[in-house]
Amino acid sequence: MKCPFCGSDDTKVVDTRHDPQGNVRRRRECTACDNRFSTVERAILTNPLVVKRDGRREEFDPDKLMSGLRIACARRPISAAMLERVVERVEYVMRQTGRTEVPSQMIGDAVIEELRKLDEVAYIRYAIVYMGLKDLESIRAEIDRLRLQRH
């Protein structure tokens, strides 16, 4: 592995961890400049195509999902690492289907469930767009439903 700081090829693995999605996270140290950095190794799998509501198909883009999550989680106490884990879990759920195409609703449902557990405000922000909550009454009804589930 090449050091991102000095470009040296001489690095050593300091620590290795495995996550539930099957990724391997390695903490590395450059023997040339002594800087440390992390790498994540995972199998290269082709993502299923996402079938949109209008029938269009496009490749799943984790960056697009991350962008939407960042908007929903803006100014909330949610770290970038937490958002990355949400994206990883959604990808994992999608791949577990074993299908070559998945409906966009499946992805949206997985995201909404992750956000519900992570942060209620971010959940509501995402739900307004994803669920098409058009007025204050529908937003209020969703907040009330969320409160009932909490108790």
Give pLDDT tens digits for 106-136.
999 999 999 999 999 999 999 999 998 999 9
Q: Mean pLDDT over all residues of the chain? A: 92
Burial 47-81 (b: 16+ CB within 10 A, else e): ebebbeeeeeeeebeeeebeebbeebbeeeebeee
> Which of 71, 55, 77, 140 has its CA nearest to residue 111?
71
The first and second tokens of residue 2, run together, are 């090449």
Q: What pLDDT is stored for residue 151 in this prediction? A: 65
Place of tokens 């992390």: 38
Q: What is the CA radius of gyration of the chain?
A: 19
Instruction: Say whether 54 sits in a helix, a strand or coil.
Output: coil
Residue 43: pLDDT above 80? no
**Choice between 20 and 125, residue whose per-residue pLDDT is larger:** 125
The arithmetic mean of pLDDT across residues 82-93, rounded, is 93
The arithmetic mean of pLDDT across residues 22-34, rounded, is 94
